[in-house]
Amino acid sequence: MSAFFKPNGLLSFLFLILLSMASCNDKDDENLPQPGPVPADTTAARDTIRFSYLALGDSYTIGTALPDSSRAYPYQLVERLSEDSLLEGETPDIVAFGGWRTDQLIAGIDTADLEETYDLVSLLIGVNNQFQNAPTDVYAIQFEQLLNSAIQFAGNDTDRVFVLSIPDYGVTPFGENYPNASTGVDLFNSLNMDIVEEYGISYFNITEISRQAESNAALVAPDGLHPSGEMYELWVNEILEDVKAKLYE
């Protein structure tokens, strides 16, 4: 007699096979790497830092003799800083004039309509004191007074203040008529640098950069004396990262 499955027996047999396959799949799934927890987003949203800037100085600060005065270093600095997606600079306030000595800058600040505080304050002054043979001791006193004014405008935060050394006009076509210019500039820079270091304020020696003009006429403005836009760009390259760090503090 031939053997056969009854219909009910066949269904039971198929059910057992399916149950066995499901059990194997469950075991295989257990051996597979399981997804871990989704990591939390630790990237904190950062607000844009909007900053104000006050530049104090003389003709070297306002871009005298440039076809486009916006190529002067204060404007270039704000522009370069604002290339950072988290920084947004306002148009700089500038108290400066061609030919100003330290005493004239002091008077200019007293009459200027300025904000009470700024996020950044820079100071570059002294070439006209040197050029006009002003007493070095008077320069030192007035320079320190100006440095204290800069600190006050920075909300008494010395980390928000920076000073640039006096450029060397002795290497320019104009300076050829003044053989002692470079020595005189070095003397006045030694005075202002000592004062700045006592306050622990950032000091940028752009004098050496300015001396590149001796072999590169493109670094001098059309008047044969003042910096060109290209020269100012070299200054900004020198100070950019330090100043950017000040804004992030």
Per-residue pLDDT tens digits for 118-156: 999 999 999 999 999 999 999 999 999 999 999 999 999
Domain ranges across the chain: 49-248
Quick: pLDDT tens for 212-229. 999 999 999 999 999 999
| Residue 64: partners with Cβ closer than 8 Å, 6 or more residues away | 98, 221, 223, 226
Query: Which residue is it, tokens 């900004």?
Result: 236
Q: Distance from CA of residue 224 to its chain's centroid?
A: 29
d(CA 78, CA 205): 20
Q: In the prediction, which pLDDT does 31 show?
A: 56
The CATH superfamily holding the domain 49-248 is SGNH hydrolase (3.40.50.1110)
- Greater confidence (163 vs 28) lies with 163
Token duo for residue 84: 């950072």
pLDDT tier at 14, thresholds 50, 70, 90 = very low
Q: In the prediction, which pLDDT does 4 show?
A: 38
Tell which residue, 72, 101, 96, has the closest CA to residue 221: 72
Within the chain, residue ranges assigned H as helices are 7-31, 59-62, 73-81, 102-111, 127-131, 136-153, 181-199, 207-210, 229-248
Q: In the prediction, which pLDDT does 33 show?
A: 53
Q: In the prediction, which pLDDT does 128 show?
A: 98
What's the number of CA atoms in the CB half-sphere (13 Å) around residue 247? 26
Phi-psi region of 202 (alpha: psi -120 to 50; beta: other; left: phi over 0): beta
Quick: pLDDT tens for 26-83. 544 555 555 555 555 444 456 899 999 999 999 999 999 999 999 999 999 999 999 9
| Residue 238: partners with Cβ closer than 8 Å, 6 or more residues away | 204, 206, 209
In this structure, the strands spanning 120-123 and 161-164 are parallel
What's the number of CA atoms in the CB half-sphere (13 Å) around residue 152? 10
Query: Which residue is it, tokens 């309509």?
Result: 113
Give the chain's count of helices (H) and strands (E): 9, 7
pLDDT tier at 249, thresholds 50, 70, 90 = confident
Given a cut of 60, is residue 239 above it in pLDDT? yes
Q: What is the mean pLDDT of the chain?
A: 88
What's the number of CA atoms in the CB half-sphere (13 Å) around residue 132? 12
Given a cut of 50, is residue 2 above it in pLDDT? no
Quick: pLDDT tens for 169-205. 999 999 999 999 999 999 999 999 999 999 999 999 9
Tell which residue, 212, 131, 225, has the closest CA to residue 175: 225
Given a contact cutoff of 8 angstroms between Cβ atoms, the answer to whether 222 and 65 are in contact is yes
Q: In the prediction, which pLDDT does 41 show?
A: 47
Q: Name the percent of the chain lying above pLDDT 90.
A: 80
- What are residue 44's DSSP bridge partners? none
